[in-house]
């Protein structure tokens, strides 16, 4: 299989996947190293493919399952690392999905990490992985200030999310 054929196959598998695919799984199936897959994903993204990298693996949003009523909103939040789970649960409990986290690094500029957290189970796994790896949340770079892109079904859900985050002292008002 040539490099181009492998990349086409990676893209085909991502387009057909129902859940995220890990780099390790793709590397085993393709008979190459995980680092080769990471490089393939980077090149596919540079070519304009909408591939997201999350703690659960790589995925693409499938248009045929997209709900036309879904909308994206950006929330500005501020809290400590200890309140991260509270913040994320407030979003998903009110019907939202946490697509990413973005911080403004003083040297590098914007740093973004795709998350796609849609349930308390996703959040529990994410927090467990953070603890297991002893990872520091991106929000420590900015004293707790960060952005989340959230996907919501309607304005009512977005309003409920904002109300709960505001009540918890997490939402930063524009």
Could you report the per-residue pLDDT of 101-137, keeping only the tens digit for each? 999 988 888 898 889 899 999 999 999 999 999 998 9
Q: Please give the backbone phi and psi of residue 99, each rounded to the nearest 5 degrees, phi first.
A: -80, -40
Q: How confident is the model at residue 62 (pLDDT cuts 50, 70, 90)?
A: low
- Residues 62, 15: contact at Cβ < 8 Å? yes
* Res 65: pLDDT: 46
Where do the domains of the chain lie, and which CATH numbers do they carry?
3-63 (1.10.10.10), 67-167 (3.30.1340.20)
Distance CA 23, CA 70 (A): 29
Could you report the per-residue pLDDT of 72-98, keeping only the tens digit for each? 899 999 999 999 999 999 999 999 999
Question: Can you give the C-alpha Rg of the chain in angstroms?
Answer: 17
Is 105 part of any known ligand binding site?
Answer: no
Is 65 part of any known ligand binding site?
Answer: no
Predicted TM-score (pTM) above 0.75: no
Is 148 part of any known ligand binding site?
Answer: yes
* Res 61: pLDDT: 72
- The answer to whether residue 53 scores a pLDDT higher than 90 is no
Q: Mean pLDDT in the chain?
A: 89
């Amino acid at each position: 299989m040539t490099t181009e054929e492998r990349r086409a196959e990676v893209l085909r598998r991502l387009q057909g996947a129902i859940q995220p695919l890990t780099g390790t799984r793709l590397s085993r199936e393709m008979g190459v190293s995980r680092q080769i897959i990471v490089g393939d994903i980077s090149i596919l993204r540079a070519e304009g493919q909408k591939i997201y990298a999350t703690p659960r693996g790589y995925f693409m949003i499938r248009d045929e399952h997209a709900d036309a009523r879904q909308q994206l909103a950006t929330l500005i939040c501020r809290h400590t690392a200890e309140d991260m789970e509270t913040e994320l649960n407030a979003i998903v409990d009110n019907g939202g999905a946490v697509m990413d986290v973005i911080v403004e690094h003083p040297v590098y500029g914007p740093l973004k990490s795709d998350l796609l957290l849609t349930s308390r189970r996703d959040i529990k796994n994410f927090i467990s992985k953070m603890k297991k790896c002893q990872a520091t949340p991106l929000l420590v770079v900015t004293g707790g200030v960060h952005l989340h892109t959230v996907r919501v079904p309607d304005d009512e859900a977005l309003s409920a999310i904002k109300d709960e985050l505001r009540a918890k002292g997490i939402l930063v008002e524009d």
